Structure 1
Amino acid sequence: MLSSWLSAVVARCRPFSRGAAIAFALLTAACSAPLPMPPPMDIPHGHGRLWQVDHPGAPPSYIFGTMHVTDPRVYALPQAVETAFTEADIAIFEVDYRRPMSLEKRRQYIELPKGQSLEDVIGSSTYRDLRRLIFRHRLPLYNYFREQPWVSWVALSGREISIGQTESPEKPILDDWLIVRARKANREVDFLETAQEQWQSFAGIPMDDQVAMLRSAIETYYDGRLRVDRVAVYVEGNLALSYALWEHSLSHLGPVLARQYTDRLLNERNHRMVERMLPYFERHSAFVAVGALHLPGEEGVLRLLEQRGYTLTRLQ
């Protein structure tokens, strides 16, 4: 399965009706034999959602792992999270999802160079296979013929059948909900990344790799999928399982491409976000909220902070 943030990228590219989403899920389920869940990975900081961050001479700060969804379960914050959120004097978030990027700017990350088509890039045979999947399963791809391969790849690469999730287009995702609350309380709000940087994480993938990823997704589209209540995994704070699900979602790529993709979408961004949050920790009691998948692992945000001399204490 792709992370909720990756799925949201495609959703922001174009409209996706609720009816089409339901049909897509049902057709995917009908064509897939469910697989057993992967075992949780043995990684640093594999459980939890909230940590206190301490450093000599600085006030305590907090890091909270979010999930970029609107399922009502994610809004039921534990008391420890509420306390940290209300007591910190500045709230720092991954990116301002509420500030839309202009269509012209989005196009530079999505569309192929003028005069070039997706069929030119991936070849006629692969293009025909992609068209069959799009029309057979009503995939949310409308201008795919002139867009970069990564856009189609995201739409095809849902490696699981989501269960137990309730999404509402009228509600803000958890991150946006917290941003609104912080601003209503007249607290300072800042961000670790720009929307352009997040889009560039995809558009910057070398074209040969984008083509290889899309071809692999097409070839393995009917392979068995997991049945996962991903929100329940998040609410339980099971980061070790979340990371195992991430790796499973990329397993069809092979080890080299999967590693490159993890480096680009997680590890490189983890390093960048840590460098940008350090000045806040020196001057403020900060509440930092980023996607939960950025927290665990040897190159996760929490281990990177420990390597810089910070003490991490899990609170929830």
Structure 2
Amino acid sequence: MTISIGHRRLQIAQPGNILLWLIAAFHILLAAALLAVLFSVSPAAAADDSCSGKDLMAELKQSDPARYAEVVKEADAVPNGKGIFWKIDKPGLKPSWLLGSMHVTDPRVLNLPDYAQAAHDSADTIVIESDEILDEKKAAAALLARPDLTMFTDGTTIDKLLSPEDYARLDAGLKQRGIPLSAVSRMRPWMIASAVALPACEIARKAKGVQFLDQKIAADAIKQGKQVKGLETLAEQLQAMAELPMEFHLKSLIETLELGPKMNDVVETMTDLYLSGDVGMTIPMLKTVSPEEGGDGDYAAFEQRIILDRNKVMADRAAPILAAGNVFMAVGALHLPGDQGVIELLRKQGFTVTAVN
């Protein structure tokens, strides 16, 4: 695959990795949810809040049973890949709870299972990735205080980095979400890509004031008089993205534009997998959307900086909070599975972590 970036042309040896990092990034881009605040997207300007998309796994199961079986086999091999709700025990402590979250406003996701809601309501302390999301205006102000993390500060604009064709497609994609291209022209490509990757219905619901899951969990806790603590700052999350190479981000933005409406299918499938607790199937599923064709350097770099490094930070910072017992913690679901996931890291700290069906 060859793409144009300004006057340059780049060979992409592995489009699959670009899609993988983008969708994996979807669960950490809390900043993208602030676009409605930053750009004052009104409910009238935003798209309709009804989502469209089909379940790609159901389609694959019918069209290619053998390939579907391979995906299931790969998913089954992922440690802790089943379940989004876990119990955390340690002798002498009241049990704590761990929820793998999805940072979306989908009503199906917001409706926690009864046992998870009961654990939330009875907990003394609520832990989320960043407690800054409780006040979006303050969070937006914090981001604007570090413009280097989200914006070009040297006069660069996105039209200088994209071909005219890709620039026009970007304009169209943003219009569908009620976001003027002029408002993001100086934004870094990964920030723009997050806006395009989010389904239009997500932006529309955000413009109408609907909270995404983590916000709702924290806001409900505040109403109940509970203490809410964050494991990271938004600036730390953005810094991790900003440290990845610029061409990496540009390729990812263009790959997102290439997907077009298919992105709705990808997000719908991710949501279905999340709701069924099949978190370990997410990455194998994504490989069927954009098959790997080469080395995995791009995704390996992303995985290390955005997922694995942050897993360690989350587990280390959560440990002293969990030491008090009776904690309800919610972090992105893709941080849970794997031999270097948050679950395994907590076990290495002496906690017993078991799935709750």
What corresponds to 1:236 in structure 2?
276
| Superposed CA offset, 1:54-97 (max 9, x none) | 22343321111122222222233223212322332211111121
Counterpart amino acid of 1:178? I
CA contact (8 A) 1:243 1:293 kept: no
What corresponds to 2:228 in structure 1?
189
Counterpart amino acid of 1:210? H
1:44 is displaced (CA, Å) by: 1.0
Residues 130 and 114 of structure 1: is their aligned pair in 2 closer, same or farther, counting only changes over 3 Å?
A: same
Residues 144 and 174 of structure 1: is their aligned pair in 2 closer, same or farther, counting only changes over 3 Å?
A: closer
1:233 is displaced (CA, Å) by: 2.5
Residues 301 and 223 of structure 1: is their aligned pair in 2 closer, same or farther, counting only changes over 3 Å?
A: same
Residues 145 and 180 of structure 1: is their aligned pair in 2 closer, same or farther, counting only changes over 3 Å?
A: closer
Q: Find 1:67's aligned residue among 102, 122, 133.
A: 102
What corresponds to 1:134 in structure 2?
170
What corresponds to 1:257 in structure 2?
298
Residues 127 and 17 of structure 1: is their aligned pair in 2 closer, same or farther, counting only changes over 3 Å?
A: farther
Counterpart amino acid of 1:311? T
Verify: 1:313 aligned to 2:334, yes or no.
no
1:239 is displaced (CA, Å) by: 0.9
* Residue ranges of structure 2 left out of the alignment (5+ in a row): 1-21, 62-67
Q: Find 1:199's aligned residue among 238, 241, 253.
A: 238
Q: Find 2:252's aligned residue among 210, 213, 216.
A: 213
Q: Find 1:10's aligned residue among 32, 38, 43.
A: 32
What corresponds to 1:92 in structure 2?
127
Which secondary structure does the structure 1 equivalent of 2:98 belong to?
strand
Residues 279 and 62 of structure 1: is their aligned pair in 2 closer, same or farther, counting only changes over 3 Å?
A: same
Verify: 1:276 aligned to 2:317, yes or no.
yes
Residues 291 and 106 of structure 1: is their aligned pair in 2 closer, same or farther, counting only changes over 3 Å?
A: same
Counterpart amino acid of 2:341? G
Residues 182 and 144 of structure 1: is their aligned pair in 2 closer, same or farther, counting only changes over 3 Å?
A: closer
**TM-score, normalisation: structure 1:** 0.79
CA contact (8 A) 1:149 1:214 kept: yes
Residues 314 and 136 of structure 1: is their aligned pair in 2 closer, same or farther, counting only changes over 3 Å?
A: closer
In terms of fraction of residues, the more helix-rich structure is 2
CA contact (8 A) 1:213 1:253 kept: no
The number of equivalent residue pairs is 303
* Residue ranges of structure 1 left out of the alignment (5+ in a row): none
RMSD between aligned residues? 3.6
More off after superposition, 99-108 vs 182-191? 99-108
Structure-2 separation of matches of 1:307 and 1:57: 18
Residues 276 and 67 of structure 1: is their aligned pair in 2 closer, same or farther, counting only changes over 3 Å?
A: same
Verify: 1:47 aligned to 2:82, yes or no.
yes
Residues 230 and 73 of structure 1: is their aligned pair in 2 closer, same or farther, counting only changes over 3 Å?
A: same
1:192 is displaced (CA, Å) by: 0.7
CA contact (8 A) 2:110 2:212 kept: no
**TM-score, normalisation: structure 2:** 0.71
What corresponds to 1:105 in structure 2?
145
Structure-1 separation of matches of 2:187 and 2:293: 21
Percent identical among aligned pairs is: 26
Q: Find 2:209's aligned residue among 160, 170, 176.
A: 170
